[in-house]
Structure 1
């Protein structure tokens, strides 16, 4: 599960490695990628219900969840509400505990500008903000995102998706101590050396509030360690998901 305004191509460098050991389901949220466009603000209960509906439709009773940014936020909310359907959690630069005004404004500005005018330059600027090394943004990644953002109606949909960058809306959706404590299964919180969304201390604090969580840092990566440091990420996640308990 990728982050706010993210799409499943963010995990393109991980699916093959994970699929060697697991059935992998990569999906886009409502309003993201090629799913139905958002016609109203989407908050965390909407994303949790969407994930539950997806698992029901696919006949999956219980699953490990791996989510980046908003994906990690959704994964924790889901695990707290449906512990019987949740295996292990991989929380990759997860959201849900911070409401930093300057970061929220940056996300809103870059994302909406790219949706309003999906030019290569605006798309690349949006993606480069996520990375420790701007060269990590490939031409293919820009082209994929341009195709998605250029869909009729996507700019209006983007405004609905960005509701979580509104301070009041964000506050009522943040993870609570009770929700983090309710995640009883094993969890891996991954942060990076250069995450623009916030400091590694935020990820460590999240891990410390869950009963069975570990915390790891991946160097030379921004908000997408699974992309910029795919080999390290894949090895770390596979070790965590396959270890005996």
Structure 2
């Protein structure tokens, strides 16, 4: 069921399967809640799946943007409060993983468990430049260049030779950017990880955590997941052979089985 309501001063959009223990799915940069199309149906057989459009993407308004992971975390807290959810499982992909980590640090009592997919707790200068270039294009007179870059990024996210899957992901990322200010805001939030990495705060995360990525991830290489794993006490690390950044698209059945095993508390992921 699609719902829209005001969350922290901006209209937010989300889907809610309504039945079961809550599991929140948090998408990545230049995506929308539609990015979870390979997970939502299967997961909703076991959990109350809540997937939402992050501020400034999909059908969620940008509102007054701060360009910080902290605001994204407050938005998530506001969404859960709106739904009357005191505690939830979280699965965040890439930027969604950053939001999940920030949320688990700032609102530890609201997190049952975490899955951090293809994410990072810090960025290097090269990644900072990546975000600066894309942020600059949002205010330039060459918006087509940003569209071209976004298309290239989307293609690089998927490592397997599946033109149909790649095109579907390209289309999703293109449609998710309804407002260039939303894209710029998310890039600004990610850029903060250069001077203010989450690394030293990771030990504050006490919830059971599964860190998962593909060994071919070009955007958040396995080393980045290793740093997260080392920082979160008791966390589990899984690296999927032959998977790129969008492991949950490329190997959906495999990653869904791993996630369900972990989220249900039946195994070690």
- Normalising to structure 1: TM-score of the pair? 0.85
Match of 1:240 in 2: 262
- C-alpha distance in 2, partners of 1:111/1:231? 35
- C-alpha distance in 2, partners of 1:121/1:171? 25
Of 52-61 and 123-132, the range deviating more from structure 2: 123-132
- C-alpha distance in 1, partners of 2:149/2:227? 34
- C-alpha distance in 1, partners of 2:161/2:135? 17
| Correspondent of 1:148 among 149, 157, 176 | 176
- C-alpha distance in 2, partners of 1:199/1:143? 24
Count of aligned positions = 238
Match of 1:128 in 2: 155
Distance 1:140 1:173, change over 3 A: same
Distance 1:139 1:196, change over 3 A: closer
RMSD of aligned alpha carbons: 2.6
Query: Equivalent residue of 2:119, what SS?
Result: coil
1:100 is the counterpart of 2:121: no
Q: Which has the higher contact order (CA 8 A, sep 6+)?
A: 1
| Correspondent of 1:201 among 213, 220, 223 | 223
For structure 2, which runs of at least 5 residues remain unmatched after alignment?
A: 1-25
More helix by share: 1
Q: Which runs of 4+ in 1 moved over 4 A?
A: 107-115, 118-123
Query: Equivalent residue of 2:157, what SS?
Result: coil
Match of 1:84 in 2: 109
Query: Equivalent residue of 1:91, what SS?
Result: strand
| Correspondent of 1:175 among 198, 215, 228 | 198
- C-alpha distance in 2, partners of 1:148/1:199? 24
> How far does the alpha carbon of each residue in 1:123-156 deviate from its partner, in whole angstroms, 9 at most, with x for none?
532311212126364444333433333x4xx224
Distance 1:111 1:239, change over 3 A: farther
Distance 1:188 1:216, change over 3 A: same
Match of 2:23 in 1: none
Contact (CA 8 Å) 1:133, 1:221: kept in 2 or not?
yes
Match of 1:72 in 2: 97
Contact (CA 8 Å) 1:48, 1:78: kept in 2 or not?
yes
- C-alpha distance in 2, partners of 1:79/1:206? 13
Query: Equivalent residue of 2:100, what SS?
Result: helix
Query: Equivalent residue of 1:222, what SS?
Result: coil
- Normalising to structure 2: TM-score of the pair? 0.78
Contact (CA 8 Å) 1:191, 1:216: kept in 2 or not?
yes
Distance 1:80 1:119, change over 3 A: closer
Of 101-110 and 232-241, the range deviating more from structure 2: 101-110
- C-alpha distance in 2, partners of 1:148/1:118? 17
